[in-house]
A = this chain, B = another copy of it.
Amino acid sequence: MVRTRATVRDLRRQNRSVLLTALFLDGPLSRQQLSLATGLSPATASTITGELLDEGLLVEAGSVDSDGGRPRVLLRVNPAFGYVIGVDVGETGIKVELFDLAMTRLSTVDRLLTALEPALVADLIASGVDEVLAGVEASSVLGVGVGVPGTVEQGESAVVHAQTIGWDAVPLEKMIRAAGVTLPLLVENGAKTQGQAEMWFGAGRGARHAVIALVGSGVGIAVVAGGVVHRGATSNAGEWGHMTIAYGGRRCRCGARGCLEAYAGASAVLARYREAVRRDDSSLDEQSALEELLTSRSAVARRVVDESVGYLGAGIANLVNLFNPERVVLGGWAGLAFGAVKLDEIVAATSSHALRHPFGQVRIELALTGPDAVAVGAATLPLAVLLETGAPG
């Protein structure tokens, strides 16, 4: 439903956006190909590209023969037009990365976090941003995207809620500002930024309706409907982990019973295994422990793994039934570990819990990016703004 009026200027804005997006996603194109791809007349494609070339947003990228006629001049987004910064706020550390417009990583700064203290996080982000900016004109940076744990309420300024790490209505955007960052800021949930990365550069490419399911210690999703990340009324949408899947079942860290996370998250899987073998073998870190569990040939281990696959399949099936995506991408470190050895079984479990018809429409695939894609996805946020508005600033 359209809800707002349009003026003549909006036309140009939209057509610039369409053209720029086509160039960004489908590589170098000639003006003529652009005209075909976007539906714009050759005349308009020419004027708009002319404008964008003048502004430095585009550059020529060689030419190709056209059998018999004038060769086509290829155009592409100018990687050096500006930069974007992506920040990944993880549970143990912060990563700040600088990219050019072709999303080539130019520099990285890692900082360990001793405590998930909001003020500390804001300070580290600010200093990290300063550091990656060394030698770069700050005015040519389009913005800073920040991927954080928990849900992000987008309002006047972004506020973070993360029950599990004790962040209750943390005004992170304001705090980062206060710590000295003056660039445009875009704060978003880490699962959503990782999902964005997967949609643009990973297994989600080309899908208009997709669910990116991320299984780590906990579980989360990013839902893309009609090409747009689904956010809900207050950006809380996508709390897959605390979906009730076994009514009255295991207690979850959120306080409720029977949450998916209490069965299919890596921590929960390992806990179930420890209970089953009555042994507290927590000397290993979770990732190694899960690897060991997945490759173990003991009957108990196999049972726990199979059960986990069943729960995970049911959880995915619920997503398939509710969202009817054309693609489900399974990611996250635990998701990838499970998927590497059990993808077929996960698909089968999904099939047995999903309705036939929506299940028949979906392709379930493994993610192509790992958790390190959070920063990449975050960096795409300011880039997405550029593509949507068709102009910097």
Residues of A within 8 A of B (CB): 1-8, 10-11, 14-15, 17-18, 21, 38-40, 44, 151, 161, 163, 208-209, 223, 225, 227-228, 230-240, 242-249, 254, 256, 258, 263, 310-311, 314-315, 317-318, 321-326, 352-358, 361-362, 388
Contacts and interface: CB of A to CB of B under 8 A. Distances in A.
A318 B242 CA distance: 8
Given A2-B17, A2-B388, A11-B10, A236 B357 contact: yes
B238 A322 contact: yes
B15 A318 contact: no
15 contacts: A2-B21, A8-B8, A208-B233, A209-B233, A231-B324, A232-B323, A232-B324, A232-B325, A244-B353, A245-B245, A246-B246, A246-B248, A247-B258, A247-B314, A254-B355
A244 B317 contact: yes
B5 A324 contact: no
A6 B362 CA distance: 32
Contacts of A151: 357-358
A3 to B, nearest CB: 7
Nearest to A327: B233
A232 B243 contact: no
Contact of A352 (B209, B256, B321): B256
What are the nearest 7 A-B pairs in CB distance? A232-B324, A239-B321, A236-B324, A237-B324, A233-B326, A209-B233, A236-B358
- Oligomeric state, in number of copies? 2
B236 A225 contact: no
Most chain B CB atoms below 10 A, which of A2, A151, A315: A2
Contacts of A10: 6, 11
A161 B7 CA distance: 43
Contacts of A8: 8, 11
B225 A209 contact: no
Contacts of A248: 246
Nearest to A246: B247
A361 B169 CA distance: 14
Contact of A247 (B4, B11, B230, B249): B249
Given A1-B227, A5-B39, A161-B357, 17 more contacts: A225-B225, A232-B324, A233-B325, A233-B361, A236-B355, A236-B357, A236-B358, A237-B358, A239-B321, A239-B324, A240-B321, A244-B315, A244-B317, A246-B248, A256-B352, A256-B353, A322-B322
A311 to B, nearest CB: 6
A7 B11 contact: yes
B5 A14 contact: yes
Contacts of A315: 244
B18 A323 contact: no
A152 B225 CA distance: 18
Contacts of A3: 18, 21, 227
